[in-house]
Every structure is written in C-alpha cells, then in structure tokens.
Amino acid sequence: MKKIKLISLIVGFFALFIFGNITQPVVHADVKYKINKVNVNATVNKNGSLSIKRTIYYKFNSIANGVYYQQNLNSDQKLIKPEVHISFASDPHTDFKLDKTNSEVDFPYKLSNTKEGYRFKVFVPIIDGNKLKVTYSYIITNAVINWHDIAELNYKIIGNGWKTELKHTKVTINFKKQNISKLKVWAHGPSSSYTKVNRKKGQMILTANNVPGDMGVEVHTIFSPSVTRLNKNIRHSNHFFSRKKNC
C-alpha cells in the first residue's frame, strides 16, 4: 500500500469516559465534526475487569489528521490489551487494524499514560466530508468492587467531554453469568435514555438519543458477588443499603 502523507494540522478530540465522579476540564481544537453514533459493548469478567469495545462514528466538516481519545481511570486501574481499528464510510468493508507507534505504516496510533489514565492518539488524514469509524478495544482492570453483600460497577460509560451532541448512543453490558436475580441497574443521563435489563440472559442495554456533549451517560449496577467471584478488588464491609439511599 502506498504510504499516505499526513496533513500537518493535528487536532484533538477528547471523549472522556470517567469512573466514579472524577471530572476535569476538556479543551477542543477548532475542528467541525458531528458524532452520528456511539456504540459500546462491554463484558463484566469474573475477575472484576471490564472488556470494552467502543465504536465512534464521526462526520467531519473540516480537515484534520487524527483524533485523540482519553480514557480516564482511577489510580488502582490499568488499561491492558489495547486495539484500534478504523474504517471509512466510502469503503465500509475495509477495516484497518492500527499499529502502535509505527511510522512505517499508513495509520499508526500512539498510546501514552497521563495523570488521569491513558490517551490514544490516532493518526489518519481526514478531509471535509469524511465519515470515519474508530473502534477502541481494551480491558480495564479493577472495574468492579466486591463488597460482602454485593458487587458494584459504577461507570460513566458515555463521557461528557464532547464538542457536539451524540445523535444515537447504545450501550450493551454483558455478564459472564446468566440468571442474575439480584441484578439492579440505575442509569443517569438525558431524559431520552432507556434501560432494558434481562436478568435471565445476564445483560443490560442502555440507549439514548441527542445526548448533550457535556452530559454523558452513567451506569450504576449492583449484583451478587458470585458473578465476579475471582475479583481481588474487595471491600470488607456491607454496602447495599448505604448505596441504595444515594441512588
């Protein structure tokens, strides 16, 4: 493949996905774009980690040579097994798996540590009118806390650091176990959001339209500690009733 010369203008987009109540200011470059869709597929693993596959559909109204994506984490969490894929609407059947920090390939990406977590920098030339799909896959460690009485996942799964609203969002969270009778879910986001819980299947689906860029969607779920029985992120006390008061 002939190597594509990248445009000299570098721009950044920050999509913040924040655990707990951590927030920070976000600065956007002067680039015009829309987010037509955000799809998130997550799996809660038995060891308390969270496998994420996050796909973002961009529509650009200006030129750029890449996007930034910031994954914020707590101090006891890590991001492991990262992968980045991109494709263009002009050739939807083409999927490029990006190589990390390799200047000899057409579309490299760089993953670096920040004070807040990890930052993906994806290098890809973009012209006015391009539609770009970027998929980030990785695992977040220590995503779940196992208390004596419950296990808990509290996650801002659609972040609030966007320059534009998100037209369509869909989040699917699956568990490694089925028939979770004690599964309870609270979702915090726009009034258009809808939550569907399938305890028998071990799955929850959250959808929302026209999500303001500064709002995001947070999911708070509790379930039996047996679901994440291999989790080492343990608190030696009961927790359900104190959290119930705050939900």
Complete domains list, the chain, with CATH: 33-246 (2.60.40)
Neighbours of 231 (CB within 10 A): 20
Instruction: Please answer whether residues 169 and 129 qualify as being in contact, where contact means their C-beta atoms are separated by less than 8 angstroms.
Output: no
Instruction: Using the predicted structure, report yes or no on whether residue 1 has a pLDDT greater than 80.
Output: no
The tokens describing 53, both together, are 């596959």
Average pLDDT for residues 142-169, to the nearest whole number?
A: 92
- What is residue 192's predicted lDDT score, i.e. its pLDDT? 78
Q: Which residues pair with 50 in a beta bridge?
A: 44, 140
Average pLDDT for residues 21-34, to the nearest whole number?
A: 51
Signed CA dihedral, 233, 235, 241, 243: sign only? negative
Nearest alpha-carbon partner for 117 in 98, 96, 142: 142
pLDDT digits (tens, 9 = 90+) for 166-216: 999 999 999 988 899 889 999 888 877 899 999 999 999 999 999 998 898
pLDDT digits (tens, 9 = 90+) for 74-113: 899 999 999 999 988 777 667 778 877 655 556 688 899 8
The tokens describing 230, both together, are 């291999």
Alpha-carbon distance of 216 to 92, in angstroms, equals 27
> End-to-end distance of the chain based on CA atoms, in angstroms?
53
Give the predicted TM-score (pTM) of the model. Answer: 0.81
